Structure 1
Amino acid sequence: MIGDSTMANKKLDGGSPERGWGMMLPGFFSEDVVVDNHAQNGRSSKSFISEGRWEKVLSKVKKGDYVFIQFGHNDEKTDSTRHTVPGTTFDANLRRFVNETRAKGGIPVLFNSIVRRNFVRASDESISKDARKEPGKESLPTEGTQLFDTHGAYLDSPRNVAKEMGVVFIDMNKITHDLVQGLGPVESKKLFMWVEPNTVPALPKGREDNTHLNVYGGRVVAGLAADAISQAIPELSKFVRRYDYVVAQDGSGDFFSIQEAINAVPDFRKNVRTTILIRKGTYKEKVVIPESKINVSLIGEDGAVLTYDDFANKPNAFGENLGTSGSSTCYIYSPDFYAENLTFENSSGPVGQAVACFVSGDRVYFKNCRFLGFQDTLYTYGKNSRQYYENCYIEGTVDFIFGWSTAVFNKCHIHSKGDGYVTAPSTDQGKKYGYVFFDCRLTADAGVEKVFLSRPWRPYAQAVFVRCELGKQIVAKGWNNWGKKDAEKTVNYAEYESRGAGANPEARAAFSHQLKSLKGYELESILVGEDGWNPTKDGHKLIEVKR
């Protein structure tokens, strides 16, 4: 991307909320698309070339790359280092960008300038004024209800050159004009850099700026641009994504933290999902997703990690131990929660109980997620909670999958980092199912030699392993009674067609058994409950539930 400040990446110093729409664009594409934004504040098509910026960009262009080009705001300026003339020098620079991009095998796309928020009719013919009130200047003129153009013929040059040269043209001015005019003079301020004094450290005196976008405006305009790109360039349409919120540490999202995004989700937003993209990065924070934030989806980019380092014996603010439940990095109480491609980590190390994820909500679905820790990594807490884990990675040492819930683990990788116990269910008496593992792979670190499939935290514990590949770390006995002889009479510990070096049905503990068939353990029926939930068939589609 090449262009001016309305497209550029911005500095975040002092909490500055200014954003270029190009800075926010990555949140609207899958990771198959890399957005390399070279737009710069204050540059025109002329100065972008004269400063050597275009030469640098051109050296990176490879066959098949798209080059998005948007100039005009600063070409309007009167100074000789930036000024160009529409129809002559401005057009010539745009042609140069097009020709040189094509010579490298790239695909040029021309955009015209986004609108200025100008609800005042100009008293002269000037089109190069930023309607901005800086500290010490007089107030802006009284605004009407009609949005007036400030760009003139500079809007036509990209359109004309695109038509002349057979280039895709995207009319960002019309898109943003319709947006701002539709919002009107009051609501449209929410898109631009209108900042009250003493609210942002970067702008202690405030700002009234009708040219540059804020976080919200940047996201809205980038979304409209993504829609237009999708329509104009079918080859890119399959990569366009829409999320309600984006979390990003580089300022390219709505929020910097996951908890901020969760807090912004409307309470009890029914019959629709709120989707949140977590961009690549390590987010060190404790996250709570309360029961009122229903139907939330967290989608992580590769390398998105939620981490914290609390542990059971760590003192809280009152000097008391946090306890196992208090140690978790993430708490999920909401029903119909979905997470994909996200890592949940407790980074405190081998210091006893330290939970990475505490799951209490019902109908919770994890896909391609990772759960990292040592003891007590994954706490399936809710007694009436149904949970589904697909293609997930879960690691730990002792009891690293534990709790009351009914949970299915389908095609997951379960990894022991030390001798211990994979599961410690506390299934309530009368529950039909506890933990069921389908087609999972159980592995271990080098030197780990004594791992049990389960031990009963509570007397009626249930854990069943179906067609799982068991590494040599699984001891021949397979199951442990936790020193509770009476529990052997009530637990339901079973296997079906285990394979691998750790599969040893003849030597298994007498209180376990081998299933002769899967009747009653059909994958799709375990989580069905009374509402018919079937994540294996319907994915994370919402079901009609009376609330």
Structure 2
Amino acid sequence: MTAIMGSKKKLCVMLLILFLSNIVITANSSKSHSKKKTKFNELRKTEKRYFDWIKRMSSRNHSTNSFVEAKNKFEPCKFIKVNQNPKLGDFTTVKKAINSIPLFNPCRVVISVSPGTYREKIEIPASMAYVTLEGSGAAKTIIRWDDTADRIGPNGAALGTYGSATFAVNAPFFLARNITFKNKSPAPLAGAIGKQAVALRISADMAAFINCKFVGAQDTLYDHKGRHYFKNCHIQGSVDFIFGDGLSLYDSCHLHAKTNNYGALTAQKRESMLDETGFSFVNCKVTGNGALYLGRAWGSFSRVVFAFTYMDKIITPRGWYDWGDKQRHMTVFYGQFKCSGPGANYGGRVSWARELTKQEAQPFVSLSFIDGHEWLTNL
């Protein structure tokens, strides 16, 4: 009798275990099905976003979903004059002039800077919009400093590339004309670490630079984020001297390399197929010395286009570098359209770069690339 009761108990336990196992298997199966369904839905959403992006890039207002609406103000409400002679200006330094502007600035303030070399490190805060900085000519008005990424800052830590900038802009609707921004730190030796030295960092939307000069070596111009327009500018450097994740149009600019080794003109950091960022160079000129890549794929979806641009013989035949990651061959967008000069020969280019058709180049060659018709009027 005892043996029979023991067998019944064992049987009940086994049945209970089987019942619970079925519940677990059913639950796991349901979870697995749910996960597959979620992944499928996410894939459908990603595909839809991609095709929406393609449609948007062909429209006039393609960036309005990624950036704030443009509400620029051009009519000045205040003029400030900077002169190193205190009798001839309101301030003797650019930094003091900027510090005199209200932190939450509501209207266009024009700072006129007289000829001279201004040894200053300057940063415009994010809330100080609508600042115009006008020099007396890029050869006459120079703002310079010499920080590098490995230099120790006030907080006891290294500045980093971001903090090394001579001039940094965090506020929207900034405009600079006829002035030079320079990082005078010497060009680093090949392989040196921590020697990035930014002349200007632009980390704000809707900024324009007209007839300006940017002088440095490694990482000269940090085109960090936002929509930017560079017109008739001179940009000089050695390695990655135009870099960042901005959506920027370089119009009729002179790009000049100074290196005895291999260098790179751009390092664009677009990280997603759906990001609308990229650099476009139109009617530009590339000169200098050394051997220069047109770009290195800092971001997995790096995007750079050169159109109607003269390229000197310093451009390497391959043209582009994948940052040591062959997977980026399938995701980057590197193109040329009707470029000229001994460095523009497309025959030796890497297989994952493109010689664009007129239709492919069209979105990159006008102000519509940066929605300029909304915020660049009256410049």
* Same fold at TM > 0.5: yes
Deviation at 1:269, TM superposition (A): 3.3
Deviation at 1:317, TM superposition (A): 3.5
- Of the three residues 232, 245, 253, the one matched with 2:80 is 245
Q: Over residues 67-98 of structure 1, what are the superposed CA-to-partner deviations in whole Å (9 max), with x where a residue is unaligned? A: xxxxxxxxxxxxxxxxxxxxxxxxxxxxxxxx
Q: Which has the higher strand share?
A: 2
Deviation at 1:266, TM superposition (A): 2.2
Aligned residue type for 2:100: A
Aligned residue type for 2:170: Y
* 3-state SS of 2:342 partner: coil
Report the TM-score, using the length of structure 2 for normalisation. 0.74
Distance 2:378 2:145 in 1: 29
Aligned to 1:379: 222
Contact 2:120 2:166 in 1 (8 A): yes
**Structure 1 gap ranges (5+):** 1-240, 541-547
Contact 1:312 1:354 in 2 (8 A): yes
* 3-state SS of 1:259 partner: helix
Aligned residue type for 2:278: G
Report the TM-score, using the length of structure 1 for normalisation. 0.51
Deviation at 1:522, TM superposition (A): 3.9
Aligned to 1:289: 124
**Structure 2 gap ranges (5+):** 1-75, 189-194
1:474 matched to 2:315: yes
Contact 1:454 1:480 in 2 (8 A): yes
Q: Over residues 105-124 of structure 1, what are the superposed CA-to-partner deviations in whole Å (9 max), with x where a residue is unaligned? A: xxxxxxxxxxxxxxxxxxxx
* 3-state SS of 2:118 partner: strand
Q: Over residues 136-156 of structure 1, what are the superposed CA-to-partner deviations in whole Å (9 max), with x where a residue is unaligned? A: xxxxxxxxxxxxxxxxxxxxx
Aligned residue type for 1:344: F
Alignment of 1:192-231 (within 5 A): none
Aligned to 1:56: none
Larger RCO (CA under 8 A, 6+ residues apart): 2
Q: Over residues 284-330 of structure 1, what are the superposed CA-to-partner deviations in whole Å (9 max), with x where a residue is unaligned? A: 11111111111110000131101001001112245432211111101
Aligned length: 290
- Of the three residues 253, 257, 275, the one matched with 2:93 is 257
What's the % identity of the aligned pairs? 36
How large is the Cα RMSD of the aligned pairs? 1.7
Aligned residue type for 2:184: S
1:307 matched to 2:144: yes
Deviation at 1:464, TM superposition (A): 0.2
Distance 2:315 2:104 in 1: 44
Q: Which runs of 4+ in 1 moved over 3 A?
A: none
1:437 matched to 2:281: yes
Contact 2:206 2:375 in 1 (8 A): no
Structure 1 residues 355, 292: CA separation in 2 closer, same or farther (over 3 Å shift)?
Answer: same
Alignment of 1:113-512 (within 5 A): 244-251=79-86, 252-270=88-106, 272-302=107-137, 303-351=140-188, 352-382=195-225, 385-418=226-259, 419-429=262-272, 430-445=274-289, 448=290, 450-512=291-353
Distance 1:322 1:294 in 2: 25
Structure 1 residues 519, 307: CA separation in 2 closer, same or farther (over 3 Å shift)?
Answer: same
Aligned residue type for 2:79: D
Aligned to 1:26: none
Structure 1 residues 311, 392: CA separation in 2 closer, same or farther (over 3 Å shift)?
Answer: same
Deviation at 1:519, TM superposition (A): 2.7
Distance 1:474 1:306 in 2: 30
1:513 matched to 2:354: yes
Aligned residue type for 1:348: S
Alignment of 1:73-84 (within 5 A): none
Distance 2:277 2:369 in 1: 7
Distance 1:324 1:334 in 2: 19
